[in-house]
Amino acid sequence: MRLGRLPPSAALAVAFVSGAAAVAGFAPLGIFPLPALSLALLLALCRAATPRGALALGFAFGAGLFGVGASWVYVSLHDFGTMPAALAGVATLGFCAILSLYPAAAAWGLALLRARPASAALLAFPALWTLAEWLRGWVFTGFPWLATGYSQTDSPLAGLAPVLGVYGVSWATALVAGLAFLIAAGEPRQRIAGACGLALVVAAGYALGSVSWTSPEGAPVRVSLLQGNIAQDLKFQERRYAATLETYRRLVEASDARLIVLPETAVPRFFDTVDPAYWDRLARLARAKRADLLVGVPVRDAEGRYFNSLISLGVSPPQIYSKSHLVPFGEFVPPGFRWIVDTVAIPLTDFSRGPERPRPLALAGQRVAPDICYEDAFGEEIARQLPEATLLVNASNVAWFGDSLAPPQHLQMSRMRALETGRYMLRATNTGITAVIDERGRVRARLPQFTEGALQSDAQGFSGATPYVRWANAPVIALCALALAAAAWLARRRRVGPAWESR
């Protein structure tokens, strides 16, 4: 590859286009080889770059990736948050620029190593890329959206998810990118080694994907996932309130299931301000069906704090789950940033956090691990309720994102959580995508977006623990640290000149 010899402006343009093209590897298109090929191009561009040049190339790649892949942020801010278009555009660009600092840091770190031998580059690049994604997943509460591993839910590399989680799949994807680069740019022996390495990685993914890490527990349970399709700009309007309650009452009444799940904030008022007769009616409907309901509703305590919660009604004792990982600016206001929230029309922007280590809910003969909306982007947090839980449930309201890339991307993250944990994931959403996902991350049933309905299906409970449930992200972080140490040692032995080459 001669991409490292392009003029700086052309190299930046190629990096930007490569990042943008990688978005097609994620849902809804799901062309999973594209992210690896895009990373291979970034690697080729950085091959002869100075640290400063590599920093710019990584930033350009990130600008393409997030500028296209996270463009739905503008929809949330402007279309539904009523932020002025110019301000929403600036805020979206600023947000994407911050996210682009992480791939920039990975590319900069690679150039700093000045690793001439290909072996050092093959060790360093996947490790740096993965560590950058991991940091993005928790710094400032984290934004792990578009982590590379999510693009591989339908590829052979998905077999690594129960062992190393989504970041382990990211590492394998970046390793494939490095091997592809070696095949394209290396000397004959290196190309052969690269091809063998690529075949080995793919074979390992297939082999691990055939392992049953968890086992069925009990008989399948009949579930009903309700999708009210309440438009976001109508959801909190007083004139729509009675119709919203009636929609969900009617869907509950028509459901024939032991576990019935409503979306996040399906009832758009505080629990204690809703007519008790409505709660009593839902509870009586559930008990008549020998069923349990999970209802999304904000809940207040005696101290005036309020929580984004799911409450249960029905044959089991009443239980509650309150969201712990809140969305900055959407659900809580970071100190000093109240002025930003004042420019958008987002109700309930100052939630309190629920317990960080909740216990599963005993419902419908299962032990249910709930999470609310954005929480299922954080695999390590979902694993906290395991291996005790037998089912995963996500209640979401992605109406904030309209008809954008966000809903299918969110579904893909739920599929990764199912793969990591070896559990069914049940998704009940307001406007879609409502779906039943099995323990291997396959979508068993789904409702069309922007339609009202109840998705009824059978869900199998599972017991046992995958390696990821036992050790979470620790193994892949240790793997990356060891790889970087080995790469630094190799680079120190053979460092020559200001850049590294493929030979």
- Regarding whether 19 and 104 lie in a shared domain, the answer is yes
Exactly one of 289, 373, 375, 480 is catalytic; which is it?
Answer: 373
Does the reported pTM lie above 0.95?
no
Do 48 and 5 contact (CB within 8 A), yes or no?
yes
Summarised one tens digit per residue, pLDDT across range 291-311 is 999 999 999 998 889 899 999
Alpha-carbon span 228 to 237, nearest angstrom: 15
- Regarding whether 298 and 263 lie in a shared domain, the answer is yes
Question: Alpha helices of 23-136 — where are they, by DSSP H?
Answer: 33-45, 51-69, 72-74, 85-113, 118-136
Exactly one of 46, 96, 133, 264 is catalytic; which is it?
Answer: 264
| 264 is an active site residue | yes
What pLDDT sits at residue 187? 86
- Regarding whether 220 and 180 lie in a shared domain, the answer is no
Please give the single-letter amino acid code of residue 377: A
Exactly one of 46, 96, 323, 331 is catalytic; which is it?
Answer: 323
Query: Which of 212, 230, 262 marks a domain boundary?
Result: 212
Q: How confident is the model at residue 61 (pLDDT cuts 50, 70, 90)?
A: very high
User: Pairing relation of β-strands 292-300 and 259-261?
Assistant: parallel
| 501 is an active site residue | no
Alpha carbon separation from 370 to 43, 136, 409 (Å, rounded): 40, 24, 19
Q: Is residue 500 part of a domain?
A: no
The residue segments making up the domain with residue 333 are 215-465
Query: Which of 190, 212, 234 marks a domain boundary?
Result: 212
Q: What is the mean pLDDT of residues 62-79?
A: 91
What pLDDT sits at residue 420? 98
Q: Is residue 475 part of a domain?
A: no
- Regarding whether 269 and 141 lie in a shared domain, the answer is no
Q: What is the mean pLDDT of residues 78-88?
A: 81
What pLDDT sits at residue 2? 61
Beta bridge partners, 322, equal 309
What pLDDT sits at residue 494? 63
- Regarding whether 380 and 241 lie in a shared domain, the answer is yes
CA neighbours within 13 Å on the CB side: how many for 203? Answer: 6
Number of domains in the chain: 2
Q: Is residue 496 part of a domain?
A: no
What pLDDT sits at residue 84? 85
In this structure, what CATH number is given to the domain that contains residue 436?
3.60.110.10
What pLDDT sits at residue 427? 98
pLDDT exceeding 70 applies to what percent of the chain?
92
- Regarding whether 119 and 260 lie in a shared domain, the answer is no
What pLDDT sits at residue 185? 85
Query: Which of 194, 212, 230 marks a domain boundary?
Result: 212
Alpha-carbon span 79 to 454, nearest angstrom: 27
Please determine, for residue 148, whether its predicted confidence score (pLDDT) is greater than 60.
yes
- Among residues 166, 149, 158, 170, the alpha carbon closest in space to that of 209 is found at 158
Q: Is residue 499 part of a domain?
A: no
* More reliable by pLDDT, 245 or 328: 245
Summarised one tens digit per residue, pLDDT across range 441-480 is 999 999 999 999 999 999 999 999 999 999 999 999 999 9
Q: What is the mean pLDDT of residues 416-441?
A: 97
- Regarding whether 206 and 141 lie in a shared domain, the answer is yes
- Regarding whether 416 and 280 lie in a shared domain, the answer is yes
Please determine, for residue 503, whether its predicted confidence score (pLDDT) is greater than 50.
no
Sheet holding 435-437, edge to edge: 361-363, 366-372, 391-396, 425-429, 435-437, 443-446
Q: Is residue 477 part of a domain?
A: no
Alpha-carbon span 114 to 290, nearest angstrom: 66
From the number of C-beta atoms within 10 Å of its C-beta (0-12, 13-18, 19+), residue 468 rates as: buried
Summarised one tens digit per residue, pLDDT across range 87-107 is 889 989 999 999 999 999 999
Alpha-carbon span 90 to 265, nearest angstrom: 29
- Regarding whether 177 and 264 lie in a shared domain, the answer is no
Q: How confident is the model at residue 497 (pLDDT cuts 50, 70, 90)?
A: very low
Q: What is the mean pLDDT of residues 371-383?
A: 94
| 323 is an active site residue | yes
